[in-house]
Each structure stands twice: as C-alpha cells, then as structure tokens.
Amino acid sequence: MKETDPDMEAPIETWRGRSWSSAFSPEETARAVSTLESGGLIVLPDCAFALEGDERRFLDPRWLDGSRKNIGLDGSDVSGTRARGDDARDLAAMIARFARSAASLVEGMLPAYAHQIRRARTSLRPAAAEGRAQSPRHDDTRLHVDAFPSRPSGGERILRVFCNVNPAGEDRVWRIGEPFEAMASRFLPAIRPQAPGKAALLSALRVTRGLRTEYDHVMLLLHDRAKLDLDYQRDSPRREIRFAPGTTWLCFSDQVMHAAVSGQYMMEQTLTLPPEAMVHPARSPFATLERLAGRSMR
Ligand SMILES: O=C(O)CCC(=O)C(=O)O
Ligand SMILES: [Fe+2]
C-alpha cells in the first residue's frame, strides 16, 4: 500500500485506492503531514477527477484567452479564458467542483491544518507543459520552488493539489530536485537583502498586493536564479516522476524543487497555510532561510 524511498530526502508516498472523500486513519494523517513537511509528495494514483456532461469540451487549449497559460477561478470569477455565457458558467462550475473535491481531500488527509488552511486559486491547465513559456523566469520546465511576484506570502506555505485529467492516456511528467536546504545553501550567499524602501514602493505602485517581505524577496530570487542557472538545471540532483491520468498528488510547492517536463490537461488547487500551523514549523522554508542566512526574513 505504501512505498517510501529511504534514499531520497524527498519521500514519495503512493497510496492506492483513495478518492476525494476517502477517510484516512490517524497513522496515515500523521504520515501525510510528516511527508509533506519534509519536502515530499503524496501520490494518489486512483483519485481521478470525473468530468460531467460535456465538460470534456473544456480539455482544449483554445479556451485560453492568450494572456496566460491557465484558466483560473478565484471565488466565483473565472479568468484567463475566452469562454462566455453558458460556456463560462459551465467552466466555472467544473473548476469549482474540483476546488470542493480538493478541499474535501485536504480536510480528510490533513486534519491537523483544518483551522488555518485557506483555499486560494484553482486552475485548469489546458496547455501542454512543454513549450508554453514566454521567458526563462516563466519556464516551469526548469527546476524551481514556487514564489509569486505580485502576491507576497510573508512565509505562508503554498500547498498544492494537482490532478492529471488527460483524456488520451498521457502522463504528466515532473522532475523533483534536491532538498530545499541544499538548493538554498547554493544560491543564498549571493543574494543581498532587499533594498530599504523597495517593499513600500512596490506596494504603492501596486506591483505587489501588500508588502514584499525579506522572505518574499529571497524566495523570488531563489526561484529566478535556479531557473536561470543552466549548469544547475543540467547537473543538480533530480529524479523523474510520472503521474498517469487519474492521479492526484500533493506537495508544498514552495519547498519541493519541481519541474513540469511534459503532459497536458491538469487541474490544480492552491492552498495557503501559516507556518505556525505546521506540525514541524522548523522545516518551513521561512525557518530554513532564517537559519541559513542568519538574519530575519520578516
Ligand atoms: O504544470 C505543472 O505540472 C506544474 C507547473 C508548476 O511548476 C507549478 O504549477 O508550480
Ligand atoms: Fe511550480
């Protein structure tokens, strides 16, 4: 039922026969927390997201409006799509159903986070993972941790639930890189603290929603420098994982070095969690960066 790879610091737990509404034993929920908080993945190969009615029509990149690579749902607003009228309504309903499925999975699997975890954006990704980047910084086929330039997190964790909904049997293929601490140790020494006044300026100019903290500044630079370092991209430790259609997987994507190599049609739910709500807050990127840099990340 469970497989762990003791040689990798990023443990990958594969649990068969689980669906969105499965109950998890206390032993399993504890293991899920410790796997995720140590930079691992939980993989559920039998947790498919079932399309209803003629929702299958939405598995087509032509629904994208060309401004970005995902169709997003934030509250009840669907964005990034050229769907209008009934199509927009049906598309929003499908993404909202995925959001509820993901919420119910997280509720069952991660009860320790129940009071503090927050649902953020939900997306449908109809474009092929490969060859969709406009620039190296946006190129998610390169190993990176997630950091959002316009939405400072201040250290809040980014938990993501992904599901491959490919209708033609195509896997989504990822690479998983080295542990967060190893990556940060490599890039941190060359990262200078954020210039005084910059956070206030970015916020006043509405480049960011709220203040970009030292943590956000460092995380963005780690994201960018890892992606732009071609030697690192070529030589750093990694392993490939294949997610077949009907597979759901979870990870803290602000911690796991990941790259989307190939695949098409995926749904994704982002959730946020204050680091204090972790069972082991010392494993957060925030705590790791403060320890490595020897300065406050606030
Ligand atoms: O498209 C994917 O499979 C993952 C892309 C990625 O890096 C992300 O969503 O953070
Ligand atoms: Fe990412």
pLDDT in tens, the chain (298 residues): 333 343 456 899 999 999 999 999 999 999 999 999 999 999 999 999 999 999 999 999 999 999 889 999 988 889 999 999 999 999 999 999 999 999 999 999 999 999 999 999 999 999 999 976 679 999 999 999 999 999 999 999 999 999 999 999 999 999 999 999 999 999 999 999 999 999 999 999 999 999 999 999 999 999 999 999 999 999 999 999 999 999 999 999 999 999 999 999 999 999 999 999 999 999 999 999 999 999 999 9
Closest ligand by atom to 123 CA: 1
**Alpha-carbon distance 222 to 86, whole Å?**
42
Q: Domains for the chain: give ranges and CATH numbers.
A: 33-293 (2.60.120)
User: Which run of H or E residues covers position 252?
Assistant: strand 248-252
Classify 60 as helix, strand or coil. Answer: coil
Is the distance from CB of 251 to CB of 158 less than 8 angstroms? no
> What CA–CA distance (Å, rounded) separates 20 from 11?
22
Q: Is 140 in the pocket of ligand 1 (CB under 6 A)?
A: yes
Give residue 6's pLDDT.
Answer: 38
- pTM for this structure? 0.96
Q: Are the beta carbons of 172 and 113 closer than 8 angstroms? A: no
Q: Please indicate whether residue 255, judged by its CB atom, sits closer than 6 Å to ligand 1.
A: no
Q: Is the distance from the beta carbon of residue 146 to the nearest atom of ligand 1 less than 6 Å?
A: yes
Radius of gyration for the chain, computed over Cα atoms and rounded to the nearest angstrom: 19
